[in-house]
Amino acid sequence: MTATCGLLPVLEPAEHEAHYEITDYEGARARWCPGCGDHSILASVQKLLSAEQLTPEQTVFVSGIGCSSRFPHYLRTYGFHGIHGRALPVATGIKLTRPDLQVFVVMGDGDCTSIGAAHWVHALRYNVNLTVLLLDNGIYALTKKQTSPTTPQGFVSNTSPEGGVLPSLNPLSVALGVTNASFVAQTAEWSPAHLYATLRAAYHHRGLSFVRILQRCPIYSTAVYQAAVQDPARIALLVHDDGVVVPEIEKIYKSQVAHDPHDLAAARRIADATDHIHLGVLYRDPSRLRYDEIRRVPPRTAEERLTLIDAELDRYAV
Protein backbone atom coordinates (compact mmCIF):
# COMPACT_ATOMS: atom_id res chain seq x y z
CA MET A 1 0.00 0.00 0.00
CA THR A 2 1.15 3.51 -0.74
CA ALA A 3 -0.02 6.96 0.23
CA THR A 4 0.42 9.71 -2.34
CA CYS A 5 2.18 12.97 -1.58
CA GLY A 6 2.22 15.40 -4.45
CA LEU A 7 3.91 13.70 -7.43
CA LEU A 8 5.79 11.06 -5.43
CA PRO A 9 4.56 8.20 -3.24
CA VAL A 10 5.27 7.65 0.43
CA LEU A 11 5.80 3.91 0.59
CA GLU A 12 5.01 1.65 3.48
CA PRO A 13 7.64 -1.02 4.25
CA ALA A 14 7.62 -3.88 1.76
CA GLU A 15 6.37 -7.23 3.05
CA HIS A 16 9.15 -9.10 1.26
CA GLU A 17 12.36 -8.27 -0.51
CA ALA A 18 12.00 -8.11 -4.28
CA HIS A 19 14.69 -8.79 -6.87
CA TYR A 20 14.79 -6.50 -9.90
CA GLU A 21 16.05 -7.47 -13.33
CA ILE A 22 17.12 -4.97 -15.98
CA THR A 23 13.74 -5.46 -17.68
CA ASP A 24 12.02 -4.17 -14.54
CA TYR A 25 13.47 -0.72 -15.30
CA GLU A 26 12.56 -0.62 -18.99
CA GLY A 27 9.99 2.02 -19.82
CA ALA A 28 8.70 3.12 -23.23
CA ARG A 29 10.70 2.20 -26.33
CA ALA A 30 13.44 4.78 -26.80
CA ARG A 31 12.80 7.04 -29.81
CA TRP A 32 16.31 8.40 -30.26
CA CYS A 33 17.85 8.19 -33.73
CA PRO A 34 19.59 4.91 -34.64
CA GLY A 35 23.23 5.21 -33.64
CA CYS A 36 22.59 7.87 -31.00
CA GLY A 37 24.90 7.51 -28.01
CA ASP A 38 21.94 7.97 -25.68
CA HIS A 39 20.99 4.32 -26.27
CA SER A 40 24.30 3.16 -24.78
CA ILE A 41 23.90 5.47 -21.80
CA LEU A 42 20.35 4.26 -21.15
CA ALA A 43 21.54 0.63 -21.21
CA SER A 44 24.33 1.38 -18.73
CA VAL A 45 21.95 3.22 -16.42
CA GLN A 46 19.50 0.31 -16.46
CA LYS A 47 22.40 -2.03 -15.71
CA LEU A 48 23.38 0.18 -12.76
CA LEU A 49 19.85 0.26 -11.37
CA SER A 50 19.66 -3.53 -11.49
CA ALA A 51 23.14 -4.04 -10.02
CA GLU A 52 22.34 -1.73 -7.11
CA GLN A 53 18.82 -3.18 -6.79
CA LEU A 54 17.24 0.25 -6.61
CA THR A 55 13.52 0.07 -5.96
CA PRO A 56 11.76 1.66 -8.95
CA GLU A 57 9.24 3.40 -6.68
CA GLN A 58 12.08 4.94 -4.67
CA THR A 59 14.07 6.15 -7.69
CA VAL A 60 13.56 9.43 -9.56
CA PHE A 61 15.01 10.73 -12.83
CA VAL A 62 14.77 14.46 -13.45
CA SER A 63 15.49 16.11 -16.80
CA GLY A 64 15.09 19.39 -18.63
CA ILE A 65 14.66 19.82 -22.40
CA GLY A 66 16.64 18.19 -25.20
CA CYS A 67 17.14 14.78 -26.78
CA SER A 68 18.74 13.45 -23.60
CA SER A 69 15.92 14.82 -21.48
CA ARG A 70 13.51 12.19 -22.72
CA PHE A 71 15.40 9.83 -20.42
CA PRO A 72 12.65 9.60 -17.75
CA HIS A 73 10.17 8.35 -20.36
CA TYR A 74 12.34 5.32 -21.09
CA LEU A 75 12.70 4.12 -17.50
CA ARG A 76 10.13 2.45 -15.28
CA THR A 77 10.89 4.67 -12.31
CA TYR A 78 9.46 7.99 -11.22
CA GLY A 79 10.43 10.85 -13.48
CA PHE A 80 10.06 14.60 -13.87
CA HIS A 81 10.48 15.99 -17.40
CA GLY A 82 10.85 19.67 -16.62
CA ILE A 83 11.56 22.84 -18.54
CA HIS A 84 14.77 23.94 -20.21
CA GLY A 85 17.71 24.30 -17.83
CA ARG A 86 15.72 23.73 -14.64
CA ALA A 87 16.39 20.06 -13.86
CA LEU A 88 18.82 20.73 -11.01
CA PRO A 89 16.61 22.98 -8.82
CA VAL A 90 13.76 20.49 -9.24
CA ALA A 91 16.02 17.58 -8.27
CA THR A 92 17.41 19.53 -5.31
CA GLY A 93 13.89 20.18 -4.04
CA ILE A 94 12.98 16.51 -4.36
CA LYS A 95 16.08 15.37 -2.48
CA LEU A 96 15.66 17.93 0.31
CA THR A 97 12.04 16.92 0.95
CA ARG A 98 12.46 13.21 0.27
CA PRO A 99 16.02 12.21 1.29
CA ASP A 100 14.97 8.56 1.14
CA LEU A 101 14.73 8.71 -2.67
CA GLN A 102 17.57 7.99 -5.10
CA VAL A 103 17.64 11.03 -7.39
CA PHE A 104 19.36 11.17 -10.79
CA VAL A 105 19.57 14.20 -13.11
CA VAL A 106 20.03 13.92 -16.88
CA MET A 107 20.87 17.02 -18.95
CA GLY A 108 22.25 17.90 -22.37
CA ASP A 109 25.08 20.35 -23.01
CA GLY A 110 22.75 23.21 -23.89
CA ASP A 111 20.35 22.36 -21.09
CA CYS A 112 23.13 22.34 -18.47
CA THR A 113 25.83 24.73 -19.61
CA SER A 114 23.74 27.43 -21.30
CA ILE A 115 20.27 28.26 -20.00
CA GLY A 116 20.86 26.11 -16.90
CA ALA A 117 24.39 27.34 -16.16
CA ALA A 118 23.53 29.32 -13.03
CA HIS A 119 21.63 26.36 -11.56
CA TRP A 120 24.52 24.06 -12.47
CA VAL A 121 27.11 26.21 -10.68
CA HIS A 122 25.06 26.55 -7.51
CA ALA A 123 24.05 22.89 -7.47
CA LEU A 124 27.75 21.99 -7.49
CA ARG A 125 28.28 24.39 -4.59
CA TYR A 126 25.31 23.05 -2.62
CA ASN A 127 26.62 19.50 -3.07
CA VAL A 128 23.29 17.79 -2.43
CA ASN A 129 23.44 14.01 -2.79
CA LEU A 130 22.48 13.74 -6.49
CA THR A 131 23.89 11.75 -9.41
CA VAL A 132 24.13 14.25 -12.27
CA LEU A 133 24.78 13.18 -15.86
CA LEU A 134 25.71 15.67 -18.57
CA LEU A 135 25.19 14.05 -21.98
CA ASP A 136 27.45 16.21 -24.12
CA ASN A 137 27.18 15.85 -27.90
CA GLY A 138 28.45 19.37 -28.54
CA ILE A 139 25.35 20.59 -30.40
CA TYR A 140 21.71 21.54 -29.96
CA ALA A 141 20.36 18.40 -31.64
CA LEU A 142 16.66 18.47 -30.74
CA THR A 143 16.29 21.86 -32.42
CA LYS A 144 18.29 20.73 -35.44
CA LYS A 145 21.95 21.76 -35.21
CA GLN A 146 22.57 25.04 -33.45
CA THR A 147 25.87 25.89 -31.77
CA SER A 148 25.90 25.07 -28.05
CA PRO A 149 28.44 26.24 -25.44
CA THR A 150 30.43 23.01 -25.90
CA THR A 151 30.47 23.07 -29.72
CA PRO A 152 34.11 23.07 -30.90
CA GLN A 153 35.47 26.32 -32.27
CA GLY A 154 35.10 26.42 -36.06
CA PHE A 155 32.32 23.80 -36.16
CA VAL A 156 29.69 24.72 -38.76
CA SER A 157 26.09 24.84 -37.55
CA ASN A 158 22.82 26.49 -38.53
CA THR A 159 23.55 29.40 -36.21
CA SER A 160 27.26 29.56 -37.11
CA PRO A 161 27.31 28.85 -40.85
CA GLU A 162 30.92 30.02 -41.12
CA GLY A 163 31.98 28.07 -38.03
CA GLY A 164 31.78 28.94 -34.34
CA VAL A 165 34.03 31.87 -33.50
CA LEU A 166 34.46 31.27 -29.77
CA PRO A 167 36.43 28.53 -28.01
CA SER A 168 34.11 25.93 -26.53
CA LEU A 169 33.24 25.90 -22.84
CA ASN A 170 34.96 23.14 -20.86
CA PRO A 171 32.43 21.62 -18.43
CA LEU A 172 35.19 19.88 -16.44
CA SER A 173 37.15 23.10 -15.84
CA VAL A 174 33.99 24.95 -14.85
CA ALA A 175 32.89 22.24 -12.42
CA LEU A 176 36.34 21.99 -10.82
CA GLY A 177 36.38 25.76 -10.33
CA VAL A 178 33.20 25.83 -8.25
CA THR A 179 33.57 26.11 -4.49
CA ASN A 180 32.58 22.91 -2.68
CA ALA A 181 32.36 20.71 -5.80
CA SER A 182 32.96 17.16 -4.59
CA PHE A 183 32.96 14.74 -7.56
CA VAL A 184 33.85 15.38 -11.20
CA ALA A 185 34.36 12.62 -13.79
CA GLN A 186 34.39 12.11 -17.54
CA THR A 187 33.51 9.05 -19.57
CA ALA A 188 32.31 8.20 -23.09
CA GLU A 189 29.29 6.33 -24.36
CA TRP A 190 31.33 4.39 -26.94
CA SER A 191 33.25 2.70 -24.12
CA PRO A 192 30.38 0.99 -22.25
CA ALA A 193 32.62 -0.77 -19.71
CA HIS A 194 34.19 2.53 -18.66
CA LEU A 195 30.81 4.28 -18.75
CA TYR A 196 29.27 1.71 -16.41
CA ALA A 197 32.21 1.76 -13.99
CA THR A 198 32.08 5.56 -13.86
CA LEU A 199 28.33 5.56 -13.22
CA ARG A 200 28.82 3.17 -10.31
CA ALA A 201 31.55 5.34 -8.81
CA ALA A 202 29.32 8.39 -9.17
CA TYR A 203 26.33 6.69 -7.59
CA HIS A 204 28.33 5.56 -4.55
CA HIS A 205 29.73 9.06 -3.94
CA ARG A 206 28.00 10.89 -1.09
CA GLY A 207 27.37 14.37 -2.44
CA LEU A 208 26.71 15.74 -5.91
CA SER A 209 28.51 13.59 -8.46
CA PHE A 210 28.91 15.35 -11.81
CA VAL A 211 29.67 13.07 -14.77
CA ARG A 212 30.29 14.45 -18.23
CA ILE A 213 29.50 11.76 -20.78
CA LEU A 214 30.91 12.35 -24.26
CA GLN A 215 28.08 11.36 -26.56
CA ARG A 216 27.85 11.15 -30.34
CA CYS A 217 24.98 12.60 -32.32
CA PRO A 218 24.90 10.59 -35.58
CA ILE A 219 22.92 13.26 -37.40
CA TYR A 220 24.41 16.63 -36.49
CA SER A 221 27.75 16.24 -34.71
CA THR A 222 29.33 12.92 -35.66
CA ALA A 223 32.63 14.64 -36.39
CA VAL A 224 33.01 16.05 -32.88
CA TYR A 225 34.24 12.78 -31.36
CA GLN A 226 34.82 10.62 -34.44
CA ALA A 227 38.61 10.91 -34.34
CA ALA A 228 38.68 9.71 -30.72
CA VAL A 229 36.34 6.82 -31.53
CA GLN A 230 38.50 5.66 -34.45
CA ASP A 231 41.87 6.24 -32.79
CA PRO A 232 42.13 4.97 -29.18
CA ALA A 233 45.54 6.67 -28.89
CA ARG A 234 43.67 9.96 -28.50
CA ILE A 235 42.20 8.68 -25.22
CA ALA A 236 44.04 8.58 -21.87
CA LEU A 237 42.60 6.64 -18.94
CA LEU A 238 42.89 8.10 -15.45
CA VAL A 239 43.69 5.19 -13.13
CA HIS A 240 43.68 5.05 -9.36
CA ASP A 241 42.29 2.69 -6.72
CA ASP A 242 39.96 5.46 -5.57
CA GLY A 243 38.96 6.35 -9.13
CA VAL A 244 37.88 4.09 -11.99
CA VAL A 245 39.91 1.05 -12.99
CA VAL A 246 38.59 -1.00 -15.92
CA PRO A 247 41.15 -3.72 -16.78
CA GLU A 248 39.18 -5.07 -19.76
CA ILE A 249 39.74 -1.88 -21.79
CA GLU A 250 43.39 -1.26 -20.94
CA LYS A 251 44.53 -3.17 -24.02
CA ILE A 252 42.49 -0.80 -26.17
CA TYR A 253 43.49 2.41 -24.42
CA LYS A 254 47.21 2.01 -23.85
CA SER A 255 47.73 5.60 -22.69
CA GLN A 256 47.12 5.62 -18.91
CA VAL A 257 47.73 8.33 -16.35
CA ALA A 258 48.13 7.56 -12.65
CA HIS A 259 46.02 10.28 -11.09
CA ASP A 260 45.02 10.71 -7.44
CA PRO A 261 41.46 12.11 -7.59
CA HIS A 262 41.97 13.85 -4.24
CA ASP A 263 44.48 16.21 -5.88
CA LEU A 264 42.39 19.19 -7.01
CA ALA A 265 45.28 21.06 -8.62
CA ALA A 266 46.22 18.01 -10.71
CA ALA A 267 42.56 17.51 -11.65
CA ARG A 268 42.39 21.07 -12.98
CA ARG A 269 45.53 20.56 -15.04
CA ILE A 270 44.10 17.40 -16.56
CA ALA A 271 40.78 19.12 -17.31
CA ASP A 272 42.62 21.81 -19.27
CA ALA A 273 44.97 19.43 -21.10
CA THR A 274 44.58 19.16 -24.87
CA ASP A 275 46.99 16.31 -25.62
CA HIS A 276 44.38 13.61 -24.92
CA ILE A 277 40.74 13.16 -24.00
CA HIS A 278 40.98 11.99 -20.40
CA LEU A 279 38.45 9.48 -19.11
CA GLY A 280 38.06 8.73 -15.41
CA VAL A 281 37.46 10.39 -12.06
CA LEU A 282 39.22 13.74 -12.02
CA TYR A 283 38.24 14.73 -8.50
CA ARG A 284 36.42 13.38 -5.48
CA ASP A 285 36.19 14.59 -1.90
CA PRO A 286 33.40 13.02 0.16
CA SER A 287 34.28 15.26 3.13
CA ARG A 288 32.82 18.35 1.43
CA LEU A 289 29.81 19.96 3.12
CA ARG A 290 26.42 18.76 1.89
CA TYR A 291 23.49 21.14 1.94
CA ASP A 292 21.03 18.28 2.43
CA GLU A 293 22.80 17.39 5.71
CA ILE A 294 22.97 20.99 6.91
CA ARG A 295 19.38 21.84 6.05
CA ARG A 296 17.31 18.82 6.93
CA VAL A 297 13.58 19.11 6.27
CA PRO A 298 11.56 17.85 9.26
CA PRO A 299 10.00 14.45 8.55
CA ARG A 300 6.24 14.60 7.98
CA THR A 301 3.54 12.02 7.50
CA ALA A 302 1.68 11.70 4.21
CA GLU A 303 -1.33 13.42 5.76
CA GLU A 304 0.78 16.35 6.94
CA ARG A 305 2.31 16.71 3.48
CA LEU A 306 -1.09 16.75 1.81
CA THR A 307 -2.34 19.34 4.29
CA LEU A 308 0.62 21.60 3.48
CA ILE A 309 0.06 21.17 -0.28
CA ASP A 310 -3.65 21.97 0.05
CA ALA A 311 -2.88 25.04 2.14
CA GLU A 312 -0.43 26.27 -0.50
CA LEU A 313 -2.91 25.70 -3.33
CA ASP A 314 -5.66 27.45 -1.38
CA ARG A 315 -3.59 30.63 -1.48
CA TYR A 316 -4.27 30.87 -5.20
CA ALA A 317 -7.99 30.02 -5.12
CA VAL A 318 -10.31 32.68 -6.53
Number of domains in the chain: 1
Q: If 0-12 CB within 10 Å is exposed, 13-18 middle and 19+ buried, where does residue 127 land?
A: buried
Question: What confidence tens digit (pLDDT) does each residue in 206-251 have?
Answer: 999 999 999 999 998 888 899 999 999 999 999 999 999 999 999 9
Domain assignment of residue 144, given as a range: 2-314
Contact (CB, 8 A) for 110 and 71: no
| pLDDT value of residue 237 | 97
- Report in angstroms the alpha-carbon separations of 300 from 22, 97, 98, 145, 310: 33, 9, 10, 47, 15
Separation between Cα atoms, residue 136 and residue 215, nearest integer Å: 5
| pLDDT value of residue 261 | 97
The model's confidence at residue 50, banded by pLDDT at 50, 70 and 90, is very high
Angle in degrees, CA 225, 104, 120, rounded to 5: 70
List the CATH number of the domain containing 113: 3.40.50.970
pTM: 0.88
pLDDT surpassing 80 at residue 1: no
Question: What confidence tens digit (pLDDT) does each residue in 140-179 have?
Answer: 888 888 888 998 898 888 888 888 899 999 999 999 999 9
